[in-house]
Amino acid sequence: MTSGVTLGTEQATTSGTSIDFTIPATAKIIHIILVGVSTSGTSDWLIQLGDAGGIETTGYLGSASGISGAVSTATYTTGICIANGIVATSVHHGVCTLFLEDAANFTWVGVANVGRSDSANHKVGAGSKSLSAALTTVRLTTVNGTDTFDAGAVNVLYQ
């Protein structure tokens, strides 16, 4: 592995409504990697950011699109959307990358590229969020916060 790059510990996405990873406050780039991830319902998937004060659930700016013959696009303010137009038990693979854009204001920009392996369907998203302190946590969750993960795994890679 390249010096300065750290691979986290993979977490199963087979239960629960969110998956959290602790990130060092010195990180400048974070990749959230999904393999075979699925949820029980149709709520879109988000990445939420947290600092010493906890996970931030408001103040995000961005949008995402789902492409499967037709395109569906929506805006999001509760997280950086990585997959919209979710179908229950659909199987997804992909990555969301977060970049520290402004260290003084703790501003992060994220881009996502996720595809389904059980259907011809692709999802893209992008967004930004400024925190009140250095980022220490990233969370994978759903917009409604109640759909449960039921398959797959997720990990982080950061530098």
The tens place of each residue's pLDDT in the chain, 159 residues long, gives: 457 999 999 999 999 999 999 999 999 999 999 999 999 999 999 999 999 999 999 999 999 999 988 898 999 999 999 999 999 999 999 999 999 999 999 999 999 999 999 999 999 999 999 999 999 999 999 999 999 999 999 999 999
Contact 97, 29 (CB under 8 A): yes
Whether 154 is covered by a domain: the verdict is yes
> Which pLDDT does position 1 carry in this prediction?
45
In this prediction, residue 70 carries a pLDDT of 85
> What CATH number should be reported for the domain holding residue 98?
2.60.120
In angstroms, the CA 5 to CA 50 distance is: 21
Residue 31 lies in a domain: yes
Residues 80-91 as b or e (16 or more Cβ within 10 Å = b):
bbbbbbbbeebb
Structural domain contains residue 48: yes
Q: What angle do CA 127, 60, 128 make, to 5 degrees?
A: 35
Residue at 1 is within a domain: no
Structurally, the chain folds into a number of domains equal to 1
**Category of 67 on φ-ψ map: left (φ > 0), alpha (ψ -120 to 50) or beta:** beta
Full-model pTM: 0.95
d(CA 142, CA 12): 16
Q: Which two tokens stand for residue 138?
A: 């990233």
Domain of 122, in residue numbers:
13-158
In a domain, 6, yes or no: no
Q: Which residues contact 121 (CB under 8 A, 6 or more apart)?
A: 66, 67, 68, 85, 90, 115
Q: Is residue 118 part of a domain?
A: yes
Say how far apart CA 34 and CA 32 lie, in whole Å: 7
Residue 37 belongs to a domain: yes
Please report whether residue 106 resides in a domain: yes
pLDDT at 108: 98
Q: What is the pLDDT of residue 69?
A: 81
